[in-house]
Amino acid sequence: MTISRVLTPLFVCLFVVRLLVVVCIISGNADLERKLVSSLLQLIERERQGENVNRHVLKNLLRMLIALRVYRQSFEAPFMKATESFYETEAQRLINELNVPDYLAHVSKRLNEEVGISPLRIA
């Protein structure tokens, strides 16, 4: 028996235990859950505004929400609302500033950016 065969189940077990601890902490603390969602939405907003954010961290946080099974109940609705608000405001501004081909190019660029952080793509 190799050391990796012994350690791998141990690491998996430790990961599951840690995950369960995080689930208990987050699900038992509405304030912590709210802060986590708010921080994640702020990070996404900063990225949408052109600020350089660590996408690896962003994707890992989204993966964590999915793994904890709190994505849909805690994050999805606020995320969709923030997304709608951001793009509605941007569209109203840009529709008056850009010609049609430039506006469509911008929309295409934005769609590609959103696909990059889509939970369907992350999971």
**CATH code (residue 115):** 1.20.1310.10
Q: What is the pLDDT of residues 79-104, one digit of tens each?
A: 999 999 999 999 999 999 999 999 99
Tens digit of pLDDT for each residue in 7-28? 455 555 666 666 666 766 666 6
Q: Are 86 and 45 in contact (CB under 8 A)?
A: yes
Domain range enclosing 47: 3-122
- Helix or strand or coil: residue 49? coil
- What domain count does the chain have? 1
> CA 116 → CA 10, 19, 36, 83, 110, distances in Å?
33, 25, 20, 14, 10
pLDDT at 123 over 50: no
Q: What is the pLDDT of residues 44-53, one digit of tens each?
A: 898 889 888 8
* pTM score of the predicted model: 0.70
